[in-house]
Amino acid sequence: MPHTSKTDTRFRDRAEMLDFLLECSTVTSETLDLDQQLVNLAEMIREVVPCDLFAILLYSEKQRGLRIRYSTGHREEVVRNLVIPLTEGLTGVAGATQQPVMSGDVRSDPRYLSVVDAVRSELAVPMTARGKLVGVIDLQSTMPNAYTEQDVGMLRLVASRVAASIDNARLHRHVERHNRTLRTLAELSREFASILDLDELLKTIAGTVRKLINYDAFSILLLDAERGLLRNRFSVRYDERVLEFDEIPLSKGITGAAALAKQAIRVEDAQADPRYIEWTPGIRSEVAVPLLVPDHVVGVMDLESRRPGYFTFDHMRTLEMLAPQIAASIENARLYEELAKHKERMEKDLEAARDVQSILLPRRAPEIAGLEVAVRLRPAREISGDVYDFFDYGDEAAVVAFGDVSGKSAAAALYGALVSGLLRSQAPRRRSPALLLQSLNEALLERRVEARYATLLLMLWQARTGTLTMANAGASPPMICRGGQILEPRVEGVPLGLLDGITYEEVTFQTQPGDVLALFSDGITDQHNPREENYGTERIARALRNHFREQVEAIAETLLADLDRFADGRAIFDDQTLMLVKVRA
């Protein structure tokens, strides 16, 4: 008995047909949520065309095939694993030709790919947008000759109206996923850099990578350069932490190949790759990404999946973007482990360094003709990377220096000591701030330290004229309060120790009695409160406007007390140095 389609009975006139097609367009275009679009579309199609199995397959250019994106009646393993190449099966033929394909008796149709034995007929209709294949709508029935030309025409009309919306939803999802990946990478960089315990770091990395890329097995292997092998430091197998310490020579395994080549390796079928070493039963695909710091390999990050060809080029690019931060964080954590073994010695060294720095950085400002000066220093660690000093030329003229060096703690303090030493040796011979900065830059370049530089503001004070001659090497210019008004002179320059042949400009500022100059490190302006807000410069300006008539010692105490109230218990994460200079009447 021939089958009667609901299409024949539901639409009694052309108007009803047009209303249905308009509804199809509306339910897919009113949202960019791909899952919701497919659910809405499936419900509408099944109202008018009967079927026992229903699927919407979307085309993947990378896999060069169709994958089921929504279905009813299909087994879960089929939905999860099936990839239909174009030209295979009725759906593949429909996709390749971009024309509907109908079979009333699939048992006698050689193109049919058997999924359920009871199926007798199938209808596959392609969806295209902008001349490209988007996917295929596939209906299967246990009745022979279940579909008619009216059904074909109806589904063609539906497909033509929803294909663009589905394609836009896929594009939106791709953009959202890419943006989410970039946001995650930025967050991860900050998170990884803050973890110095290696085991905690590796656990965090494993959990974080899983949020980006699902896997069945994950390992981080660290390089033992002396023995020429990779040692498995951290492994997760099927959601369980595995305490194993396998060692792999660099000449073996996909991980060894990635370490030697210093390039990521993606394997679609691990079982067919002679380099593959089976750690976990059932693994079919693998991606190994070397962890590199500028001059050497730290280790390898390895992901495995039970699904063949699971890891895509996008996955590999994401891991490659993440790998440098992981490598740097691991290297830092390993160095921290080594330092922790010598903790007592380090503490003694830091205590000695703190004593030396107390000599290099004057805790109290000297008497300078015509000026009242207050200095406050609060290191984030035991020692500070901030730099300041005073040089009296003996004729009512003096130079005030204020700056910072890159980084924190001991390394920054050592570099700061170098800057202070050079400054003290050269300042007596060069009164010009611009020439003194140029000379300091040349001296630091002769003693270049990779990734280290210094910012420094020099101000030549001449009491007889009340003028300040300023030159700047990347530091913040002074904030000046005059009668409750804030002045910010423009004075700029390149930090010291970066570029050769740099010259600096001088800016002259005429002071007035009562002017208050504030110099402050970014540890003050960048201080966070529990709401992750920065203290900023406006609060400093407000304190100056409200208290400029007071002595600078009182202003300094008031400002730092306000900073502490703002921080509300948050620890100091960067050196906080404050210098206030007031022009005497």
Strand order in the sheet with 397-405: 386-392, 397-405, 454-462, 467-473, 507-510
- The residues that bridge with 135 in the sheet, in sequence order, are 58, 127
Number of H helices, E strands in the chain: 15, 23
Decide if 415 contacts 453 (C-beta within 8 A).
Answer: no
The Cα 503–Cα 505 span in angstroms is 7
Domain match, 160 and 284 both: no
Average of pLDDT values for 400-404?
A: 92
Domain of 536 in residue numbering reads as 363-583
The mean pLDDT of 408-423, rounded to a whole number, is: 79
Q: Enter the DSSP assignment of 478.
A: P
Confidence class of residue 30 from pLDDT cuts 50, 70 and 90?
A: low
Where a domain ends, among 104, 138, 172? 172
Same domain, yes or no: 208 and 314: yes
Percentage of residues of the chain with pLDDT beyond 90:
37
Q: Are the beta carbons of 236 and 270 closer than 8 angstroms?
A: no
According to the model, what pLDDT value does residue 396 have?
86
pLDDT at 40 over 50: yes
Identify whether residues 396 and 481 lie together within a single domain: yes
The residue among 219 and 158 whose pLDDT is bigger is 219
Same domain for 412 and 559? yes
Examine residue 74 and state whether it is found in any structural domain, yes or no: yes
* Band of residue 354 on the pLDDT scale cut at 50, 70, 90: low
Mean pLDDT of the chain: 84
Residue finishing a domain among 306, 341, 376: 341
* pLDDT at site 218: 93
Nearest to 457, CA basis, from 489, 418, 428, 486: 489
At 283, which CATH number?
A: 3.30.450.40
Residue 267: predicted pLDDT: 93
Specify the pairing of strand 53-60 against strand 132-141: antiparallel
Task: Report the alpha-carbon distance of residue 24 to residue 19 in Å, rounded.
Answer: 9
The lowest-confidence range among 261-270, 404-413, 512-521 is: 404-413
| Mean pLDDT calculated for residue range 369-391 | 84
Rounded Cα gap, residues 101 and 125, in angstroms:
6
Number of domains the chain is built from: 3
The mean pLDDT value for 174-193 works out to 72
Predicted confidence at residue 409, as pLDDT, reads 63
Whether the per-residue pLDDT at 4 is higher than 60: the answer is no
Residues 6+ apart with CB under 8 A from 365: 373, 374, 375, 390, 579
Do 369 and 288 fall into the same domain? Answer: no
Residue 487 or 148, more confident = 487
Question: Residue 148 and residue 49: Cα distance in Å, rounded?
Answer: 10
- CATH number for position 488: 3.60.40.10
454 and 560 part of one domain? yes
pLDDT tens for each residue of 304-346: 999 998 998 888 988 998 888 889 888 888 888 777 766 556 5
Residues 156 and 207 in one domain: no
| Amino acid, single-letter form, for residue 212 | L
Q: Is the pLDDT of residue 8 over 60?
A: no
Per-residue pLDDT at 577 exceeds 80: yes
